[in-house]
Amino acid sequence: MNYWKECLTCALDDENITLSDAQISSISEKLEDAHEGYAVYAGIEAATNGEKSDAELELEELKREIEKRTRWVNNTKPCDVCITTGIVKDSWGKDQTCGACEGAGRV
Ligand SMILES: [Zn+2]
């Protein structure tokens, strides 16, 4: 027996409702169709069919940024002038951007 038809038959029995076999078949088919559409209605399909969640997108962005920074660190040397801070003191003792590394801290 069809799962949906059996569920509907049990529910109708519990409620003492009598329907014809044709009515039960028709309603059970509609229930099955409704169940198939539920994933779209609830957004489950969109969340699992290739579309990524905000958390997944954020994680990927963070991984890209970490990779980019790692490549930059591996391909540069620490700035000797500012000792990687990107800031040096001017002649009045105030902070200013290091001219040697332009504030990046590495060259
Ligand atoms: Zn510097």
Q: What percent of the chain has pLDDT over 70?
A: 93
Residue 46 has pLDDT above 70, yes or no: no
- Cα–ligand 1 centroid distance for 12 (angstroms): 79
Confidence at residue 47, expressed as pLDDT on a 0 to 100 scale: 59
Q: For strand 95-97 and strand 87-89, is the pairing parallel, antiparallel, or unpaired?
A: antiparallel
Q: Could you tell me the residue ranges of all domains in the chain?
A: 3-48, 54-97
- Cα–ligand 1 centroid distance for 107 (angstroms): 7
Give pLDDT tens digits for 94-105. 999 999 999 999
Core vs surface per residue 16-37: b (16+ CB within 10 A) or e: eeeeeeeebeebbeebbeeeee
Residue 43 has pLDDT above 80, yes or no: no
For the entire predicted model, the pTM comes to: 0.47
Q: What DSSP line would sit under 2-59, residue for residue?
A: -HHHHHHHHHHHHTT----HHHHHHHHHHHHHHHHHHHHHHTHHHHHSSPPPHHHHHH
Most confident by average pLDDT, 11-15, 25-29, 40-44, 83-87: 83-87
- Cα–ligand 1 centroid distance for 73 (angstroms): 14
- Cα–ligand 1 centroid distance for 89 (angstroms): 11
Confidence at residue 71, expressed as pLDDT on a 0 to 100 scale: 96
- Cα–ligand 1 centroid distance for 84 (angstroms): 6
Cα 81 from Cα 48, distance rounded (Å): 51
